[in-house]
């Protein structure tokens, strides 16, 4: 059964690079890896997606090793506004996206 595991929380300081790693147990061959960001009182926001190797957009980078058993979300030079919960959900039989508790990222000044 597919499942993802990620740290409960992380602390960082402004200007630092933050890397959040997610383990993807039993990820299916065809599944993409996606990451979401959620601020208080808002719905989750899709931030990046990849299948393998590295993907970069204006928000973050996503690193996926060849075996696809993990992924690392990299946030360059974080600011206070990056304080949020970050999720790496997994796909369950078809189009059912399942979320865990996520990683609470706290950025301090």
Partner 1 sequence: GAGVSQTPSNKVTEKGKYVELRCDPISGHTALYWYRQSLGQGPEFLIYFQGTGAADDSGLPNDRFFAVRPEGSVSTLKIQRTERGDSAVYLCASSAPGQAGTGELFFGEGSRLTVL
Burial 45-74 (b: 16+ CB within 10 A, else e): eebbebeeeebeeeebbbbbeeebebbbbb
Stretch that binds partner 1, among 14-22, 67-75, 76-84, 90-98 (CB under 8 A): 90-98
Neighbours of 5 (CB within 10 A): 13
Name which position in 25, 49, 56, 57 contacts partner 1 (CB under 8 A).
49
**Residue span binding partner 1 (CB under 8 A) among the ranges 11-19, 36-44, 52-60, 70-78:** 36-44
Provide the binding-site residues for partner 1, judged by CB under 8 A: 30-32, 34, 41-46, 49, 85, 87, 89, 91, 94-102
């Amino acid at each position: 059964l597919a499942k993802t595991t990620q740290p409960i929380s992380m602390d960082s300081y402004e200007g630092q690079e933050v890397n959040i790693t997610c383990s993807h147990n039993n990820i299916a061959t065809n599944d993409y890896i996606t990451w979401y960001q959620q601020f208080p009182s808002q719905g989750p926001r899709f931030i990046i997606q990849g299948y393998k190797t590295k993907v970069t957009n204006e928000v973050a980078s996503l690193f996926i090793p060849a075996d696809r058993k993990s992924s690392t979300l990299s946030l360059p030079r974080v600011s206070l506004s990056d304080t949020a919960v970050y999720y790496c959900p997994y796909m369950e039989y078809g189009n059912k996206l399942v979320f865990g508790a996520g990683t609470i990222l706290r950025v301090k000044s």
